Amino acid sequence: MDSSVDPNVPLAIGEVIRRTGVSASALHFYERKGLIFSSRDGCNQRLYARHMLRRISLIIVAKRLGVPLAELAAMFACLPQDHHSPTHEDWQRMSRTWKRQLQERRRVLEDLEHELTGCIGCGCLSMKACALLNPDDTLQDQGPGPVRLRQSPRR
Ligand code: FES
């Protein structure tokens, strides 16, 4: 690590773009969504606290995993809503909450993977397994969509 890096010195937007690979318009969008914050320097240029790099990195990963930004915003609500650096405890609190949601997401993905070639209870009755697992589309009484995936048959 470069010992000359001062974590308290904010980063100009160009540096944030260089470090994260995220465009200026995306950064502005994340700001409007309340996911990140900036301040202004004397020339009205955006400055980002260095810990925003971590938030932006989590946004990048979350987007790749298909996590809705609203869910991420709820997670970030556990963190200080200003320019103060989150403490280790802040990140741990966020991590615990998010971990539960990620585990549920993983369970759904595993169920989907497991049931991909079987009946998912969607009402199509197009597979051999449907006659057994959704005879006469009886699962429609339990609501719309892929009922068997929602029920998590492997749980
Ligand atoms: S796969 Fe659609 S009802 Fe079975």
User: Exposed/middle/buried for 131, CB within 10 Å: 0-12, 13-18, 19+?
Assistant: exposed
Enumerate domains of the chain plus CATH numbers.
Answer: 11-114 (1.10.1660.10), 117-155 (no CATH)
Q: Which atom of ligand 1 is nearest to the CA of 146?
A: 2
Distance between CA 90 and CA 129 in Å, rounded?
48
The structure tokens listed for 89 are 């405890």
The structure tokens listed for 128 are 């051999």
Residue with the smallest CA separation from ligand 1 atom 1 is 119
Report the chain's C-alpha Rg in angstroms.
Answer: 22
pLDDT of 153 higher than 50: no
pLDDT of 1 higher than 70: no
| pLDDT, tens only, 90-136 | 889 888 888 888 898 888 888 888 878 889 899 999 998 899 999 99
pLDDT of 58 higher than 80: yes
Q: Which of 111, 125, 142, 149 to mutate to test the pocket of ligand 1 (most atoms within 8 A of CB)?
A: 125
Q: Which of 111, 132, 134 to mutate to test the pocket of ligand 1 (most atoms within 8 A of CB)?
A: 134
